[in-house]
Structure 1
């Protein structure tokens, strides 16, 4: 064994592919069928890898195989390595097809990112964009595990940025919205907030601390929300059917404001805004990522 290498020379690409597929499926049978081999042959491949690495990669829970602590750590690095190899191979074949996996936060999902996606499709039809949505903490976990290449949305907290980089695109405000004919639209904001059901972003949302600071500054820190969500479908539905007020990023609700279905109640708070951009790992870019990022920058530069 090479004394300067941490990995056994007996570890082959087939071992890594088998391991990653088993980790994704949680079992052997589906992977064996997909690879066109028998389940005992796949099991031997996994056993070989575990012997070469000197660690069990999986624990058995009923019929499922779940990653051990060592397996989860190895998977994170193996994914990055495989993506780097795929990127290297793709670089030798310009125009080759592939999949670019992106994480999408609500603040960019309704207006900004559709423009990016359509432009990317026009220029790079050979690359499939696979978008994952969900809360911030979920997408950041996918990013660190190598299951998405970039997360588009608000700037993460400083404690989350180790090993990551953030590319600023534009500023997006957090606003207070209501249905167009809300009876308290001309009242003061503290009066309207005190008298109306309130929808807040979840405690895990990046914009929640900013909203909490605003409420505290207006003597409403103890106010209890009727609902917590950043979902456009849910928040819009509740607001249109009631007198609820909703603190949400402008980017989420932009179309409803343009159509006049919803109105913005002026808070007068300049600090209710934050950076929107692209967060990615500081590693070799996956096929199409550089092109995607450049298109996103161009779209951001032309925002009104």
Structure 2
């Protein structure tokens, strides 16, 4: 390997590969897009091969890029393991997991409580955030498991997904919305919209639903954060497309109401994503078993 290749090059490359976007990867790393672009250009120059092809606004791995991603991910995992081995006990008693919003509200709290009863000596270190960020952490070995929606096919190289259940995309509003009782399409055409962020896995399905009904209004706000969405709904007549798992408690309490959309396509698989090559620790196996059991109840 060229001696000028640095860890920052590898992390930049893996983040871009996970998100397919320079903007999203730069945001995840906390650096500017031009700085990230320079790191990628340097890496491609040092390797002597293009790693990505640009198609519209998305970056797709070349054949060389796909092969290098596997090697780079394994290299970072081995470096992390080697560093941890120099600090005996530093990583003991911690299990690092990533939780996407669709599983963060109802499923994961029950899993965490059950895990704490079974393995009180192990601390769950939980990361949250957008899908691209958590996939990047998973590939880099900074989390051992991701719980949430099925990643895009282009993100699945070197990963495996275990299906738990299907989670629909819900259209919700405040309980006292003045148009309750009207068809969802009529309300969508007349009311402000809250959409998931561009980086959210469910965004494309929502856009396809709206396009098929010729609803083209720009969203008032984009968010998958429960506190933000709930607060905006409480003070407006907006309608929010969001994973049902995010708002399940609010719907059960009657704080929010769900509008029937009649669209079977507004659903997706939720499950466990891990690296294919990993050997699970006893703590991780316990967490996986508990998650599978509680997802069925």
TM-score when normalising by structure 2: 0.73
Q: CA RMSD in A?
A: 2.9
Could you say if the C-alpha distance between residues 242 and 259 of structure 1 is closer, same or farther in structure 2, counting changes exceeding 3 Å? same
Pick the aligned partner of 1:223 from 217, 226, 237.
217
Could you say if the C-alpha distance between residues 84 and 206 of structure 1 is closer, same or farther in structure 2, counting changes exceeding 3 Å? farther
Is the 1:103–1:148 contact (alpha carbons within 8 Å) kept by the matching residues of 2? yes
User: How big is the shift at 1:78?
Assistant: 4.3
Could you say if the C-alpha distance between residues 286 and 182 of structure 1 is closer, same or farther in structure 2, counting changes exceeding 3 Å? same
**Separation in 2, partners of 1:292, 1:188:** 42
The runs of at least 4 aligned residues of structure 1 exceeding 3 Å deviation read 53-59, 67-70, 72-76, 80-87
The residue correspondences of 1:121-160 to structure 2 (distance < 5 A) are 121-160=116-155
Cα deviations across residues 98-145 of structure 1 (Å, max 9, x unaligned)? 211001100011101001111111101111100001111111111111
Match in the other structure for 2:77: 79
- The structure number with the bigger radius of gyration is 1
How many residues are matched?
Answer: 237
Is the 1:136–1:206 contact (alpha carbons within 8 Å) kept by the matching residues of 2? yes
Match in the other structure for 1:214: 209
Unaligned regions of 5+ residues in structure 1, if any?
1-5, 7-52, 60-66, 91-95
Cα deviations across residues 43-94 of structure 1 (Å, max 9, x unaligned)? xxxxxxxxxx9556468xxxxxxx9969x9768524346549989xx9xxxx
Could you say if the C-alpha distance between residues 85 and 293 of structure 1 is closer, same or farther in structure 2, counting changes exceeding 3 Å? farther
Pick the aligned partner of 2:244 from 237, 241, 250.
250
Is the 2:193–2:239 contact (alpha carbons within 8 Å) kept by the matching residues of 1? yes
**Separation in 2, partners of 1:145, 1:253:** 31
**Separation in 2, partners of 1:258, 1:58:** 47
Match in the other structure for 2:159: 164
Match in the other structure for 2:196: 201
